[in-house]
Structure 1
């Protein structure tokens, strides 16, 4: 298992993240200094949704090749880019938090951003009433700065880090942007905004990004057990065994499903944008889709069981397994 983990696309994330220790004496920066320090790490995200539709949001660099964002910014995208000024960089893959209730994604770029990543502030140092600054792309307006307070720290459940409620004005397009403290450190990733421009927004604690690599490792035990239920053969290293049916990126290998073959090709392109773990599933009643965590895969299997249909995998992670699978359970 160790060797397979080393090839995972989030390994640079685990190596590059760092948490800013609380100093005994800290100095508050002026807003213009905070913007100068933090804004180079904030990018505009654009996702190609097909049919000439583009989703727009924000992201913040947490390593030289990884940006944190809100998953709903890139949901359904067949490809995605991040832009800042005249620079545009293609997204290679999207890593999702295994917990589907966390709308947290990390975008992996094809080439390094070549800009400094942010320092992440410990959640223990946050307090209601402290000044915070949001930087994002509301309505596509790149690198917009707004100021507010932490209005509340709202626990989701016992033992989990709190969601940050803020009065810093954020609007559509700000989702996935950064919420920074007076030292220019990242304290949160903007998730949801209030309609009508009200000073009510929410952000996930930035420390969640620090937890992501270990959470993905823990997820793999559940994931591999579930793969057996869709007939996937795993090798001694825990990796899926190739069927030799087709190369991963060869859409011509996809089976004919339903009347419109374009739909499965679009869904498969969306699958290819996802980071591991990922599975592209096809059922005997002409349905198909992607699972990127054990909860989603369990839901697919439950639906197949209720409909009394066969649920099989076409591709898992970076391997096409279609055609020589064990019988699905």
Structure 2
């Protein structure tokens, strides 16, 4: 069976490579959360997108700050870029999004995959949210579906739905660059966990193989890195060819059943991310904190014995 949207993505990547219309990517790595935020721009029009931004959060004190986001603002302004998109690859469980703060300073639409509504429904129940918390994705400016196309200046963009890590994961392709979120890590580190609510190891395998059929020269930019054993430096850029041949979890020849057995067994040994509870409550709101209560203070909930 032909995968029309994947084939459209492959055609756009090849066209970008042939035309030489290659985006510029600058990455900001937050070691506290091991998160790579990417600023991508079209060199012809200087139109930019910010992908998977980080709001600094000190959990013991409950305080937020903006050093990570301010570094991005400085970069964008210094280079005279115009931000059109604030992109979230999914509702992150390991860091809080700075998209609303960056939108206020730089502009751009906050966008995510339309299956965020599923995430909002699941976690709305877990956190016992009342009717003031909308479960329709309306906290975001735009919801994207599999195969949706968009533009970044003169560059073509397309999104692919890649469920598995979460039901709402989307891969964003702009020119010859692919932003995979948490679906894939560096080849020497492997793949994302699939045991969060709504996660599915079998769906993750199929999503990854959808990506591995894209052109081998496609640049792949990751959302996280944790330094594989034996590697001294953080890394967040690879290629489809490298993932296809060398990814320790899903290289060529690994069967779906073998991957599922590995992923499910490995996930049972992992602890929850330390920021999962505050992160999900904020990120399912489009990066906004919960509304202040009658005393003017905002609160994040801590459910007991749930996850």
TM-score by length of 2: 0.32
Larger radius of gyration: 1
Structure with the bigger percentage of strand: 1
Q: Could you state the TM-score of these two structures normalised by the residue count of structure 1?
A: 0.30
